[in-house]
A and B are shown apart, each in its own frame.
Chain A
Amino acid sequence: MTVLGYLANGLVFSSIIVLGSIGLSLVYSIADFANFAHGDTMTIGAYSALVTFGAVGGLGGAVLGLPYGFFVALVVGIAVAAVVAVATEKLIYEPLDVDSIGLLITSIGIAFIYRAVIQIRFGSDFTRFDVRPLRPIEALVPYGVRITLHDVAIFGSAVALVVGLHVLLQYTDLGRKMRAMADNPDLARVSGIRTKRVKLWTWVIGAGLAGAGGVFLGLFNQLAPRMGFNLLLVIFAAVILGGIGSVYGAMAGGFLIGMINQLTPFFSNVVEALPIRPNWLATVIENMITIEYANAIAFVIMVVVLLVRPNGIAGEAAT
């Protein structure tokens, strides 16, 4: 594959990571804890869409190689993820009498419950959406870019969702309140913002985006009960890279981490071509920059960011 090819793949994968990292960052800043169930919220979205798509079928026509029914399934996936998240907030998190660390630990329990229920119902094997796999777009193949119309659909939908969120944050009353709460929850409360409601909407938006990300991840790869939890590390890396609590930082972080993840094989080619001395160092580096270690690279980036700029690339350089 050419550099362009890797970049195109990176763009598609980044779209998914960005959808995940925005939600995680929103919940982090407004509900004030690191939600370890966020990855499994993505899984919920994916499996809800799977069930819906199985039930409604294609519904006639298709856009970008995806039947209408799939878009219905996408909307249901988003809705179910949001509803489950709100129910969890209402039934579990809100009545808890613990601090943000206690919430973090509780969210691990929630993550396991989500995943266990899915695994009991659907088994632990991989499945796919019942859509016809497409061939890469002919016109792009000469440039070494092998992406399908499905990939274009993923990218386009993600861009639409991100732009929608941007408009919501900047130009609506709810968005202003959300930003105020993220900046300073106490101040927001005393200035009359009904923080509980804003928090609920945060869950709806954050989990909804995660649900969409899950559906697209299922389309991009396949579905498995562990798909979301496995992605959690990458999403956290994106959020930390962008600076915890910053939505736009999370977009940038998600974009970078997604790109780096998909560009790993390209980097390993580059490293092989470089005249690195001594030889053992070259061997070690070549060994580490391989597709098996794509997640590990995200981790290394995260640790380096924590060492150098704990507030993320966009944040102030202070501890």
Chain B
Amino acid sequence: MSLLDDPKAAFADLSRPERWVLGVSVAFVLFLLVAMLTGALGPTYFLFLVGLAGMYALLSFGLNAQWGFTGLINFSVAAFFGIGAYGTALMTASGSPIAGGFSPLVGLAVALVVALALALLIGIPTLRLRADYLAIASLGLAEVVRLIVLNERWLTNGSAGLRGIPGFFDGWPVLSTFPEAMPGLRLVVIPGSPVILETAFWQAALNVLLVLAFAGAAYFVLRRAHRSPWGRVLRTIRSDEDLARALGKNTYSFKMQSFVLGSLIMALAGVFYAHLNLYVGPGDLDPITTFYAWVAVILGGSGSNRGALFGGIVIVTIREGTRFLNDVALPIDPAPLRLLLIGVVIVAVMRYRPQGVLPPQRELIWPSAVDGGGTPETPDSGVRERKGGDDDE
């Protein structure tokens, strides 16, 4: 849209944090590209990072649909992620103790159904109560799911985990053989350090395609659902549930829908992870995943999908940055360092910018209703609106 016609005007139209985020993002991408072209960063690893960012973005979308839209505090993101990963792994992996060998599409379906059941299980007792009950109960749920995965060996292989998970596209026409079929490419951008693209690269490219498809679908659904009467009720519940009830909204049902939707998206991230990593183990249920997602959502801006996207990228930077630091500079165990970073970011955001870096800026009104007969004047302050289907939220 206007970005292509008139980039200068489009830039001037952005708020300060938007410019800031855009600047950082562009610099970051340029840095990665330079690193890749000079050979400092393998192209396959680069794509792995992109896939990981997509995965965290998915998790953040899921949490955003719960916390950002409705104010539901879910501390069991890792459990829903793990259920997604284990759900598909148990159906598809050659090492699965119960089923195995099914198509990844079956795995996807099973993962979503199990995640749905789990969401109902925890939602039914807690969603009628105050918000902090869900927080406490979901913290417990995460622990219980982890314990079951660890201890029920007949079901999950216990601490050994599940091996032999196929790629998501295995057995598909064309796509399953795509990585092998692609020729190895040798790009020389800087003389002396060629960039080599091989089968592994194309495999990674395929994974990136998959996560883009998942994240794109989730983004589309959330975007439409948020800027609608449905999303409006959720936001009302978030600021004042009693008001929503007094106006005739069945808030329990709305909260349940929002909770289930978010949980399914988290499970989707788990499905992607299982087919990316080709192995899942109890370690993948580490609660830290939950709080990565939390940092991403509150940093990005609760309720804002593009904020969640930005937050997802920040998380990969924290994760891989601490690993890099440990490898290169400081011989400090990265685990507590990550914990410290997460803690500091949470506290700092709540202290200095509780609305996040990119808070939602749109009215939750069905777009065509506003564009059609609405009043196009710009409001004086605060909530801004722009006409048209620009896709930055």
Assign chain B's interface to a size class: 35 or more
B139 touches A98 (CB 8 A): no
A96 part of interface (Cβ distance < 8 Å): yes
B289 CB to nearest A CB, Å: 14
Q: Which residues of A lie under 8 Å from residue B137 when comparing CB positions?
A: 299, 302-303, 306
A105 touches B294 (CB 8 A): yes
Q: Which residues of B lie under 8 Å from residue A293 when comparing CB positions?
A: 147, 151
B298 part of interface (Cβ distance < 8 Å): yes
Q: Which residues of A lie under 8 Å from residue B340 when comparing CB positions?
A: 112-113, 116-117, 120
A109 part of interface (Cβ distance < 8 Å): yes
B351 part of interface (Cβ distance < 8 Å): yes
B157 CB to nearest A CB, Å: 16
Q: Which residues of A lie under 8 Å from residue B132 when comparing CB positions?
A: 33-34, 100-101, 104
A240 part of interface (Cβ distance < 8 Å): yes
B335 CB to nearest A CB, Å: 7
Q: Which residues of B lie under 8 Å from residue A34 when comparing CB positions?
A: 132, 135-136
A82 part of interface (Cβ distance < 8 Å): no
Question: How far is B354's CA from A299's CA once the two chains are assembled, in angstroms?
Answer: 31
Of A60-68, A174-182, A231-239, A270-278, the segment with at least 4 beta carbons within 8 Å of chain B is A231-239
Residue of B nearest to A97 (CB): B354
Q: Which residues of A lie under 8 Å from residue B99 when comparing CB positions?
A: none
B283 part of interface (Cβ distance < 8 Å): no
B136 touches A240 (CB 8 A): yes
B147 touches A296 (CB 8 A): yes
Q: Of B124, B141, B343, which contacts A113 at CB under 8 A?
A: B343
Q: Which residues of B lie under 8 Å from residue A109 when comparing CB positions?
A: 342-347, 350
A292 touches B147 (CB 8 A): yes
A184 part of interface (Cβ distance < 8 Å): no
Q: Which residues of B lie under 8 Å from residue A296 when comparing CB positions?
A: 143-144, 147-148
B336 part of interface (Cβ distance < 8 Å): yes
A227 CB to nearest B CB, Å: 14
B351 touches A233 (CB 8 A): no
B185 CB to nearest A CB, Å: 43
B366 part of interface (Cβ distance < 8 Å): no
Q: Which residues of A lie under 8 Å from residue B351 when comparing CB positions?
A: 92, 95-96, 106
- Restricting to B102-138, which residues have a CB under 8 Å from any CB of A? 122, 124-126, 128-129, 131-133, 135-137
A106-B351, A108-B291, A303-B125 given; name 13 further pairs at CB < 8 Å: A92-B351, A104-B132, A108-B294, A112-B342, A112-B346, A115-B339, A116-B340, A240-B133, A293-B151, A296-B147, A302-B140, A307-B124, A307-B125
22 chain-A/chain-B pairs, Cβ below 8 angstroms: A34-B136, A92-B347, A92-B351, A101-B71, A101-B131, A102-B354, A109-B342, A110-B347, A115-B339, A117-B340, A120-B337, A236-B136, A240-B133, A293-B147, A296-B148, A300-B144, A302-B137, A306-B125, A306-B129, A306-B137, A307-B124, A310-B133
Interface residues of A (CB under 8 A from B): 33-34, 36, 92, 95-98, 100-102, 104-106, 108-113, 115-117, 119-120, 123-124, 225, 232-233, 236-237, 240, 287, 290, 292-293, 295-296, 298-300, 302-303, 306-307, 310, 319
